[in-house]
Amino acid sequence: MAELYRADVLVSCLHGRSPELVSALKQELDRRGLAGEVKVVETGCRGFCTMGPVLTIQPNGIFYTDVQLADVPEIVEETLVKGRAVQRLLYKEPATRKVIPNYDAIPFYSKQMRIVLRNCGMIDPQSIDEYIAVGGYEALGKVLSSMTPEQVIAEVQKSGLRGRGGAGFATGRKWEHTRKAAGEVKYVIANGDEGDPGAFMDRALMEGDPYAVLEGLTIGGFAVGTQQGYIYVRDEYPLAVQNLRSAIDRAHEYGLLGSDVLGSGFDFDIRIVRGAGAFVCGESSALMQSLEGKVGEPRAKHVHATDRGLWDRPSCLNNVETWANIPPIMNKGGEWFASIGTERSKGTKAFCLVGKVRNPGLIEVPMGITLREIVDDIGGGPPKGREIKAVQTGGPSGGCIPASMLDLPVDYESLTEAGSMMGSGGMIVMDDRTCMVDIARYFIDFLKDESCGKCSTCREGIKRMLEILTNISAGLGKPGDIEVLESLAKTVQLASLCGLGKSAPNPVLSTLHYFREEYEKHIAEQFCPAGVCRALIAYQVVAEKCKGCGLCIKACPQEGISGTARQPHAIDQVKCIQCGACFEVCRLDAIQVVPRSAVTVGSNGGNGYKPVREVVR
Amino acid sequence: MNAQRVIEIIQGYDGDPTASLAILQDVQRELKYLPREALELIAQQLDMPVGYVYRLATFFKVFSLQPKGEHICKICLGTACHVKGGPLILETMERELGVKAGNTTADGKFSVEGVRCLGACALAPIIVIDDEPLGQMTPDAVVTRVRQLRAGEVVKIPAQMPVKVAVREAVDLSAVPPKG
């Protein structure tokens, strides 16, 4: 029999000081003789990353942010003994400074709809009992006791669930194909190789609610008719591996994995395989190659993985987030799921809202919500004084959506039409200090490293695009470059073998489409308006605004700023390396970005910067 | 190189050639890099060409064929870190240590690595030094931390610094349990 507690203290942000916080809380509760009344729970990610470590006190939902060790006695005394909130730890709305005591009233949470992240930050991910207590494994019980595999697949089809890894293939159809494929031995695989830079939804799920992934995968195994499941986890996520492993052990102990699951006669087991740091292994055929212990190179898909995948056997591969959506769909029915979202994109999607917003973090929203609602209401808008320029979705395969299109609904079709894609859920907000040429160069540089090199269009095309982009940002762009870039991009898109190559030109094409002017400025005017491409800019002190505080003098790594206190400072253009350290520290906007041609410097910029052709490494 | 340990790791997987990737990961965790002899030994034990093992070891980024420095500094260059000044952090680190990313200082004390996304994007720009994650970095903080390490100071994470990211499984040689 589980013990009953008067209150629960949920400590999130597993990775930081939370373990210390938890032991401090427990000690204090012990000292006050409250250990039997209040339970301290270490949970997974609560999503509100800048506010961490956060602490939720149940049942009343009091939400404390940025909790320090020194706050512990006060929290115990005030909240747990006297039932009052500690005012200074409550969340304050940045604009109005209004205090919001309960987490569900904070705009960051109130605009969200949490289905797949339902348990993240709410339960102890290590405890199977807690997962079961919040309704876990009900779905598996229902499926195994009262449904046929065909009925399960029909329910998934009814839900309209589509692949959450980004491509958006109908999950139910994939399951059906695998079920109908010829062969005795089949596999179900969860893709947890979250390689997109700027995305960590799958990490949060695997770390914060591992049983949901196991349950979804087990239901999938039953539906497609297999006894073996795999979870492929990124090597960079050791905690995910650890939590999944211990979850598998517990599930075995409880008869929820292994032979004769829940006495139904269905046998099923799951193995964890660690990736080894190759972005291309997120691609289905490459992932399966890697699972077999081979080099992760994709193959042509004349034959689908659902017919011949892992070890040439029918394999059903879905993203971790897709699998975690299955238990609620089974519990509440496909129709319920299909009632959320838009015509063709159903349910919710988890995103990592990061970059230049006030509240970066892990969020989950219903499909069809606008980008503006996400960025402004949940994300709190751009930092003070800055302006949003673009939102990047879909990782290196996606594109940049300009601020003028922020009213775009977030669903598979709208994002693709806008030249980007849903992707696995990275959402990077960029402001006027982000250069679009540099962003395109950044992604293409990433893809240059990650291209497996098997097909020549991807291997060579990406490299040539990178050369052009590097030259443009180094001030060596010439008329005609943009056109060559476009034609290269289209060739790579058409002729590459796998998804990586086919989508690799998206960052270039979307920035060219929406921000062509910025490219032209780089080439014709030799200026980077965002102040990012160093070869094209110089920093200057605006004498009228400078109060001579000396912050920039301290920040300059080149010792290139001089001036006396309370007198306007000056930047030595010969020493300046355009690192922008002074610009970042100045609180008075007294440092401005000007074209390089506007300042007098030596012949090559006077700063040791040599425009070289071989800037491409 | 402890050949016996490498053989034990391979035997932990029953000499299964499809476990080659897992074996390489475990060996790297044990030795901190993959020396030539280890690759040859694995190839011999699994009865596959050395070239095949070499190909695996060079395809996947997790593996290193070079020994690493005493302190490993990973600077995240994911998209969120990139737009929030990750490159400036890397540059500061390179300048402070006098080596370019991908290299180790001459005294063997520090290795600098630019990595793609550590999955803690909301804390950008983030770096990880010896498995200790440091979020919302500034050039100043980088310099301070490196100088502390160089002076051999054992420093606890300053309490006000927001840090929470997956810490790699601790590489404690004595504590690695035999597989199987």
pLDDT tens digits for B137-169? 988 889 999 999 988 765 544 433 333 332 322
The partner residues of B18 in beta bridges, in order of sequence, read: none
Q: Please indicate, yes or no, if residue B27 is contained in any of the structural domains.
A: yes
Q: Please indicate, yes or no, if residue A264 is contained in any of the structural domains.
A: yes
Mutation to test the A interface, candidates B42, B63, B65, B164, most A Cβ within 10 Å: B164
Question: Residue B180's pLDDT is what?
Answer: 33
What CATH number does residue A605 fall under? Answer: 3.30.70.20
CB contact under 8 A, A354 and B122: yes
Specify whether A323 is located in the same domain as A354: no
Complex ipTM, two decimals?
Answer: 0.84
- Residues of the domain holding B47: 3-59
CB contact under 8 A, A194 and B119: yes
Interface of B with A in 51-80 (CB under 8 A): 55-56, 59-63, 77-80
- Phi and psi of A368, rounded to 5°? 100, -10
Specify whether A252 is located in the same domain as A209: yes
Q: Please indicate, yes or no, if residue A118 is contained in any of the structural domains.
A: no
Specify whether A313 is located in the same domain as A356: no
Contacts of B88 in chain A (CB under 8 A): 579-581
Specify whether B78 is located in the same domain as B127: yes
Considering the entire predicted model, what is its pTM?
Answer: 0.89
CB contact under 8 A, A197 and B79: yes
Give the number of domains in chain A.
5
Contacts of B59 in chain A (CB under 8 A): 278, 295-296, 452
Which residue, A338, A373, A399, sits at the end of a domain? A338
Contacts of B80 in chain A (CB under 8 A): 197-198, 354-355, 360, 428
pLDDT tens digits for A35-89? 888 888 888 888 887 787 888 888 888 899 888 888 999 999 988 888 888 988 9
Question: Residue B162's pLDDT is what?
Answer: 35
Question: Residue A15's pLDDT is what?
Answer: 54
Specify whether B32 is located in the same domain as B75: no
Q: Please indicate, yes or no, if residue A121 is contained in any of the structural domains.
A: no
- Residues of the domain holding A369: 348-431
Question: Of the candidates A55, A47, A134, A42, which has an alpha carbon nearest to the alpha carbon of residue A102?
Answer: A55
Specify whether B55 is located in the same domain as B112: no
Give the number of domains in chain B.
2
Contacts of B78 in chain A (CB under 8 A): 197-198
H or E stretch at A430:
strand A426-431
Contacts of B166 in chain A (CB under 8 A): 15, 203, 207, 236-240
Which residue, B36, B59, B82, sits at the end of a domain? B59
A187-192 and A228-233 beta bridge pairing: parallel
Q: Please indicate, yes or no, if residue B135 is contained in any of the structural domains.
A: yes
What CATH number does residue B99 fall under? Answer: 3.40.30.10
Specify whether B77 is located in the same domain as B55: no
CB contact under 8 A, A352 and B121: yes
What CATH number does residue A478 fall under? Answer: 1.20.1440.230
Question: Residue A162's pLDDT is what?
Answer: 97
What CATH number does residue A168 fall under? Answer: 3.40.50.11540
Q: Please indicate, yes or no, if residue B167 is contained in any of the structural domains.
A: no
Contacts of A49 in chain B (CB under 8 A): 120, 122-123, 164
Which residue, A58, A73, A105, sits at the end of a domain? A105
Which of A273, A277, A430 lies nearest to residue B62, judging by beta carbons? A277
Q: Please indicate, yes or no, if residue A450 is contained in any of the structural domains.
A: yes
Smallest CA–CA separation between B63 and chain A, in Å?
8
Q: Are A393 and A419 in contact (CB under 8 A)?
A: no
Question: Residue A17's pLDDT is what?
Answer: 61
Give the length of chain B: 180
Specify whether B54 is located in the same domain as B78: no
pLDDT means per 10 residues, chain A with 617 residues, are 66 67 89 88 83 84 87 90 88 82 86 93 92 95 97 97 92 97 95 89 93 97 96 89 95 96 96 90 92 90 90 96 97 96 95 92 95 94 90 93 96 94 92 94 94 93 96 94 96 93 94 96 94 93 92 88 91 89 89 88 45 37
Question: Residue A606's pLDDT is what?
Answer: 43
Which of B60, B85, B121 lies nearest to residue A276, judging by beta carbons? B60
Q: Please indicate, yes or no, if residue A576 is contained in any of the structural domains.
A: yes
Q: Are A127 and A16 in contact (CB under 8 A)?
A: no
pLDDT tens digits for B75-120? 999 999 998 889 989 999 999 999 999 899 999 899 999 988 888 8
Q: Please indicate, yes or no, if residue B25 is contained in any of the structural domains.
A: yes
Which residue, A491, A525, A559, sits at the end of a domain? A525
| Residue A592 to residue A612: CA distance in whole angstroms | 27
Q: Please indicate, yes or no, if residue B172 is contained in any of the structural domains.
A: no
Contacts of A578 in chain B (CB under 8 A): none
Smallest CA–CA separation between B2 and chain A, in Å?
23
Q: Please indicate, yes or no, if residue A377 is contained in any of the structural domains.
A: yes
Q: Please indicate, yes or no, if residue B180 is contained in any of the structural domains.
A: no
Interface of B with A in 144-163 (CB under 8 A): 157, 159-160, 162-163
Q: Please indicate, yes or no, if residue B173 is contained in any of the structural domains.
A: no
In one-letter notation, the amino acid at residue B65 is: L
Specify whether A29 is located in the same domain as A92: yes
Q: Please indicate, yes or no, if residue A482 is contained in any of the structural domains.
A: yes
List the structure tokens of A336. 């319920």
A348-355 and A361-366 beta bridge pairing: antiparallel
Question: Residue A3's pLDDT is what?
Answer: 57
Q: Please indicate, yes or no, if residue B178 is contained in any of the structural domains.
A: no
**Does residue B176 register a pLDDT over 50?**
no
pLDDT tens digits for A450-498? 999 999 999 999 999 999 999 999 999 999 999 999 999 999 999 999 9
CB contact under 8 A, A197 and B78: yes
Specify whether A230 is located in the same domain as A208: yes
Specify whether A230 is located in the same domain as A323: yes
